[in-house]
Amino acid sequence: MGLGSLVLVVGILYVTFNYWIMPGYTRHGLTVEVPDVMNFSSEDATNSLELAGLRAELIILRKPNLPRNVVIDQRPRPMSLVKPGRNVYVTVNSGDTTTVLVPRVVDYGIRQASNMLALNDLLVGEIRPDSIPSPYKDIITEQLPEAGSRVSPGTLVDLRYGTGLGDEMVSVPDVTNMSVKNARKFLLDRRLRSVVVGVSEEEVGEPIVLRQGTDPGVSVPEGFEIRLYLAQPDQ
């Protein structure tokens, strides 16, 4: 009788624990369907998930080419069956395309160029001497990214600076009737520099060199600056 009573009590406890207590504790067999919140705003997505008994975990990304301020991905996927209270990871596209304009720091001193970049939320990258001599020592001759580019705040801008005229002499080539772009490259290939005077390049549709300040055939030091005069728009 005593052994039978013990077995009966154990059986009752087992049934109570296994079928009543444990299912309530683990919510065994109870699931909810994940609602589709794609293209919802973050607020609407959060509300929709909470109404379904789920919790939204927001992930913010910046994707300029996708719809802004809406859900672009969710995990678990819509209509998945999950336990109540489950975290649903919702990716929201902020669409933040904040950029800054790279200022022109060519022709400025190294310190002033650094200050100009800092004022525009940019950082100075690599600073090194230019491989082509320049008549203006310690003046910026090249920058990368170029002036006018739009970049993210904190972008590094690499700088090159002039080291003064070179010791070697070179013969000035004839660059008249060339486009400004080709004339500049032609001169740089011969380790000479150039500056446009008179009509600005912006005032001329396809700027052509009308004349040059130093005659062809004249010997000048490497890095010497050749003045380029552009043709007037009606010429």
User: Are the CB atoms for 121 and 210 separated by under 8 Å?
Assistant: no
CA distances from 43 to 70, 72, 83, 86, 229 (A): 9, 14, 22, 18, 61
User: What CATH number is associated with residue 115?
Assistant: 3.30.10.20
Domain end call among 144, 161, 178: 161
Which helix (H) or strand (E) segment holds residue 11: the answer is helix 2-16
CA distances from 89 to 35, 41, 46, 47, 68 (A): 12, 14, 10, 14, 18
Mean pLDDT over 27-43 rounds to 86
Q: Is residue 80 part of a domain?
A: yes
Statement to judge: residues 93 and 105 lie in one domain: no
Statement to judge: residues 181 and 211 lie in one domain: yes
Statement to judge: residues 39 and 79 lie in one domain: yes
Handedness of CA 142, 143, 148, 149 (dihedral sign): positive
Statement to judge: residues 210 and 225 lie in one domain: yes
Q: Is residue 1 part of a domain?
A: yes
pLDDT score, position 230: 87
Statement to judge: residues 78 and 129 lie in one domain: no
Q: Given the structure tokens 């109870």, which residue do they identify?
A: 30
Domain that holds residue 211: 169-230
Tens of pLDDT along 62-120?
776 678 889 999 999 999 999 999 999 999 987 766 788 999 999 999 999 999 999 98
Q: Is residue 23 part of a domain?
A: yes
- Tokens in use for 233? 């728009």
Amino acid identity of residue 63, one-letter, is K
Q: Nearest 5 degrees, angle CA 39-CA 42-CA 46?
A: 105
Residue 119 burial class via C-beta count within 10 angstroms: exposed 0-12, middle 13-18, buried 19 and up: exposed
Domain end call among 120, 139, 161: 161
Residue 175 burial class via C-beta count within 10 angstroms: exposed 0-12, middle 13-18, buried 19 and up: buried
Statement to judge: residues 87 and 35 lie in one domain: yes
Statement to judge: residues 114 and 125 lie in one domain: yes
Tens of pLDDT along 214-235?
999 999 999 999 999 987 655 4
Q: Is residue 49 part of a domain?
A: yes
Q: How confident is the model at residue 24 (pLDDT cuts 50, 70, 90)?
A: low
* 3-state DSSP assignment of residue 222: coil
pLDDT score, position 235: 47
Statement to judge: residues 39 and 89 lie in one domain: yes
Q: Is residue 75 part of a domain?
A: yes
Q: Is residue 235 part of a domain?
A: no
What's the structural domain count of the chain?
4
Query: What DSSP line would sit under 40-102, residue for residue?
Result: --HHHHHHHHHHTT-EEEEEEE--TTS-TTEEEEEESPTT-EE-TT-EEEEEEE------EEP
Statement to judge: residues 143 and 132 lie in one domain: yes
Tens of pLDDT along 151-204?
888 899 999 999 999 999 999 999 999 999 899 999 999 999 999 887 655 544
pLDDT above 60 for 27 = no
Statement to judge: residues 35 and 93 lie in one domain: yes
Q: How confident is the model at residue 6 (pLDDT cuts 50, 70, 90)?
A: low
Domain end call among 117, 141, 161: 161
Statement to judge: residues 86 and 48 lie in one domain: yes
pTM equals: 0.54
Which helix (H) or strand (E) segment holds residue 123: the answer is strand 123-129
Question: How many C-beta atoms surround the C-beta of residue 181 within 10 A?
Answer: 11
Statement to judge: residues 115 and 144 lie in one domain: yes
